[in-house]
Chain A
């Protein structure tokens, strides 16, 4: 079943600004891991805003779970390049924030706080942050903050997780570590992911399907299924099929550059 569906969607900021994205049609199946790559400014973040209903399309239709998107969608998990943790809350309190908001949980938050805290602790432990529950975000390293941010995006078990370059600001080692973290979380209990990234290796390693977008106004240039077997180990990134896929995508991006 399709969770996200775009039908000839165009979008411009303001009344008569230039198109940010143009005539995009795509569909994301339930529990599919989708990656979107493309040059800077091609409208990837705009695409995310459309999916989550934070911005309305100028043309075309966006469906989420079979229903047309109108207004912000409730209970979607989001993480960005900046971790956006709240500095006055401890890491655990930050992770539990969605449970205080999402309609499904907020009424029982007070009553079942201890259970929820256990849930939060367990999730933090899963991503290697055991012992950091009561530290403040600014006492954590950048990579640790990013882990906590992803925990916050997942704690309420959203059906859809939106990641906008969540590993962009991290060094190569930490990044690979977090790839594996996301892979494991997803493998254990699948959910739908839309990952925006600049990193082709990241896209191929994590995703089932990679979309390449063209330079602004953004259009879908290529839809590339990744047929590498799962579960994928990091070592897969050194194999030929992997390199071929990356190379092929690289080639498309290269053509975008030349075309401009």
Chain B
């Protein structure tokens, strides 16, 4: 193996190595200090809960994944449209921005009771909370991408007789794709936050609900198993969108590795 190959292998393996190291450390700490399971379960304990409750966990996780993805999809569609409006018109930009920042500053958990009154408990508030929490980064990034179009490029296009739609289609939209895909990675993780919050407060399905009921019986192993499952789903979805991003906007990093 050459040095370069070895280096690449190390790069690939590094997240897994770190993970294994942290789990071992965790196990060791729990063992060394005799931490009781009902406070802070060791990884082996969590694994045990996973094996024991697998069907339930998978069922609830599927529900959470579903509400998250639906909320996220709504957020992307809505965020794209609003972002395009905000980014391509200075008037709308001025009008909408403060309002949106204000709205986004409200903790989304505060909306859940309202949503429950409107839609009852369960799936709908979870979807809507995921949507509410995750559309903001999409709008902001889309608007930024569009609004930072180089004036010279606009001049070139306009002097060819391009309409606003032409400029949007041929230049502004493709140019803001890196911003857009970057926002997807943020939005999908936020969407998980939203749906789990809502499930914790007002639902009888989903990982959030599962964790809440487990903690009320002091079954910390199950609570942590739920946390780990959410984390894993988050990482997987993030990686999916990171892959899509690399596929779609390789030109933005000029064909080299992202990061410098």
Contacts and interface: CB of A to CB of B under 8 A. Distances in A.
Interface of A: 49, 52-54, 72-78, 80, 82, 84, 86-88, 97-98, 100-103, 136, 138-139, 156, 162
Contacts of A74: 159-161
A76 B160 contact: yes
B155 A87 contact: no
A73 B161 CA distance: 7
B260 interface: no
B227 interface: no
Given A80-B152, A84-B150, A101-B166, A72 B254 contact: no
A82 B251 contact: no
The interface centre, meaning the residue of A49, A88, A162 with most chain B CB atoms within 10 A of its CB, is: A88
Contacts of A53: 159
A84 B160 contact: no
Size bracket of the B interface: 20 to 34
A152 B192 CA distance: 46
Contacts of B160: 74-76, 98, 101-102, 156
Contacts of A76: 159-160
B161 A52 contact: no
- Chain A interface secondary structure, helix, strand, loop or mixed? loop
A78 B170 CA distance: 17
B159 A78 contact: yes
B152 A82 contact: yes
Contacts of B242: none
A88 B251 CA distance: 6
Interface of B: 150, 152-153, 155-162, 166, 170-171, 174-175, 177, 249, 251-252, 254-255
A140 to B, nearest CB: 12
A153 B249 CA distance: 26
A72 B252 contact: no
Contacts of A52: 155, 159
B155 A49 contact: yes
B244 to A, nearest CB: 15
A86 B174 contact: yes
Contact of B162 (A78, A87, A101, A162): A101
A84 B251 contact: no
A103 B160 CA distance: 9
A87 B157 CA distance: 15
A210 to B, nearest CB: 24
A86 B171 contact: yes
Contacts of B159: 52-54, 72-74, 76-78, 162
B151 to A, nearest CB: 9
A162 B155 CA distance: 11
A88 B174 contact: yes
9 contacts: A53-B159, A72-B161, A75-B160, A78-B159, A84-B156, A86-B175, A88-B251, A100-B170, A102-B160
User: Which are the 5 A-B pairs with shortest beta-carbon distances?
Assistant: A74-B161, A72-B158, A101-B160, A76-B159, A88-B251
Q: Which one of A74, A84, A138, A156 has the highest number of Cβ atoms from chain B below 10 Å of its Cβ?
A: A84
Contacts of B162: 101
A54 B251 CA distance: 30
Residue of B155, B158, B170, B249 ringed by the most chain A CB atoms within 10 A: B155
A87 B251 contact: yes
B252 A54 contact: no
B153 A84 contact: yes
A13 to B, nearest CB: 13
